[in-house]
Amino acid sequence: MSQRRVLKVFEQYQKARTEFVQMVAELATRPENIETLQNVGVISLLRTLLLDVVPTIQQTAALALGRLANYNDDLAEAVVKCDILPQLVYSLAEQNSFYKKAAAFVLRAVGKHSPQLAQAIVACGALDSLVICLEDFDPGVKEAAAWALRYIARHNAELSQVVVDAGAVPLLVLCIQEPEIALKRIAASALSDIAKHSPELAQTVVDAGAVAHLVQMLLNPDAKLKLSQLVVNAGGVAAVIDCIGSCKGNTRLPGIMMLGYVAAHSENLAMAVIISKGIPQLSVCLSEEPEDHIKAAAAWALGQIGRHTPEHARAVAVTNTLPVLLSLYMSTESSEDLQVKSKKAIKSILQKCTYLPALEPFLYDAPPSILKHVVAQFSKVLPHDSKARRLFVTSGGLKKVQEIKAEPGSLLQEYINSINNCYPEEIVRYYSPGYSDTLLQRVDSYQPLNN
């Protein structure tokens, strides 16, 4: 009887600890409870429970600490001051996967608030343990560690460099090759947060082979738009553009493809590529690269950028890229794939382009399959722009349009008619083929009036 009574006391004590820590973890999810929990000294109590002999109590205590530290920097600092971080770091190497995830969550919650708090995590030796967790069998542990590393690296170049020096980058690249989408996403964002601070850090990520795998991720329909936005938000586009500018040949190809995939998703993402000076670099690839498959990738990417709005199309057109695309499309030396992608890019850009100075050369050089799209754009713009109408006459554009041979009733003829309707009939006649001969005949047949 005496032994049973003793055991019952301990059972009740364990039950009370379990109920207590579970309730605190639940209360910590509600903002209105945070101040009260802080005032009653809950963090010190949870620190004791981190050392509990019952694993579930340890794990729940860590979860509760993470939720509290996540709420604001005061609570995160309290976690640091209570000397909790060293215990968490020790547990990352010794405990089961459930505890590892909870411990990494606390480190993430503390490190996100400021560079100083992130530095406190570094100072307690957490990086080595977090990097080891990136090799854990459990994808959830890898994901939790990648979150923590991301929040450390995102503050500044110095902290990013520390993460790099700990050996995180190659393992994060391996993580983006895992099948779990959530792990892919956070590993990609961690790499982006490392790369965004300096060209040197970006080059470290590139050298680890990250770009090629990130491009593959963008092909995944479950991840496309979110990953594209992630890359842009973290400054990844600028890093990729710098990489394209500093290398040659096939090394450029993954970066070119990434810019195209990012730009394809939305006007805003395409504009981010434009603002980051992506078009000039793609134009250089189009002109300088000897391999047709790289030129074809650059042509495709430029088409993805320019196809959204007149503003996007103009950004491509002003770089004098359209004539290069036309030349590649018409060249008999271009591969079939390069010709197809160049033609598609030209059509995509032309159908949005209202910048007439870039379009006018196409009236003289473009084949019929392209010409109709050029004339269509003039037919849209000229009715609403008097200055453009005048310039179109003085530049010789109106005369050239009259020389185009179009099938009666065709779309091309309709476009030409729309342009002609923008001018007085005598102006159109004056610039029509053969009109000068008609005038000369009238001169020949004209009988002067005798006084």
Q: Domains along the chain? A: 12-208 (1.25.10.10), 214-353 (1.25.10.10), 363-432 (no CATH)
For residue range 329-347, what is the model confidence (pLDDT) as tens digits?
999 999 999 999 999 999 9
Average per-residue pLDDT in the chain?
A: 85
**pLDDT at residue 211 tops 80:** no
Query: Looking at per-residue confidence, does 214 or 339 come out higher?
Result: 339
79, 85 contact by CB (below 8 A): yes
With beta carbons less than 8 A apart as the criterion, state whether 273 and 237 touch. yes
Is the pLDDT score of 227 beyond 90? no
Q: Which residue has the higher pLDDT, 239 or 24?
A: 24
pLDDT tens figures, 105-131: 999 999 999 999 999 999 998 999 999
Per-position DSSP letters for 14-56, written without gaps between them: HHHHHHHHHHHHHHTTSHHHHHHHHHTTHHHHHHHHTT-SSHH
Average pLDDT over residues 216-231: 56
Residue spans of alpha helices (H) in 85-219: 85-94, 97-111, 115-123, 126-133, 139-153, 157-165, 168-175, 181-195, 199-207, 210-218
Helix (H) or strand (E) holding 61: helix 55-71
105 with 59: CB under 8 angstroms?
Answer: no
Residue 360 CB neighbours (<10 A): 16
pLDDT above 60 for 222: no
pLDDT value, residue 433: 75
In this structure, what token pair is assigned to residue 75? 């609570």
Give the pLDDT mean for 368-388. 88
Give me the residue label for tokens 């340890």: 58
| Each residue's pLDDT tens digit, 42-81 | 888 988 888 888 888 888 998 998 899 988 888 899 889 8
Residue 38: exposure state from Cβ atoms within 10 A (0-12, 13-18, ≥19): middle
DSSP label of 450:
P
- The pLDDT of 303-320, averaged and rounded, is 92
Looking at residue 236, its pLDDT comes to 65
Q: What does the pLDDT look like over 410-431, one tens digit per residue?
A: 888 899 899 989 888 888 888 7
Q: What was the pLDDT predicted at 123?
A: 92
- What's the pLDDT score for residue 439? 57
Average pLDDT over residues 218-240: 59
Return the axis-axis angle of helices 115-123 and 97-111, rounded to nearest 10°. 140
Contacts of 361 (CB under 8 A, 6+ apart): 323
Instruction: Report residue 306 as tokens.
Output: 């320019």
On the 0-12 / 13-18 / 19+ scale of CB atoms within 10 A, 15 is: exposed
Inform me whether the pLDDT recorded for 219 exceeds 70.
no
Does the pLDDT at position 87 exceed 70? yes
Query: Residue 237 pLDDT more than 80?
Result: no
Pick from 1-15, 126-140, 277-291, 308-322: least confident? 1-15
The residue-averaged pLDDT of 82-96 equals 82
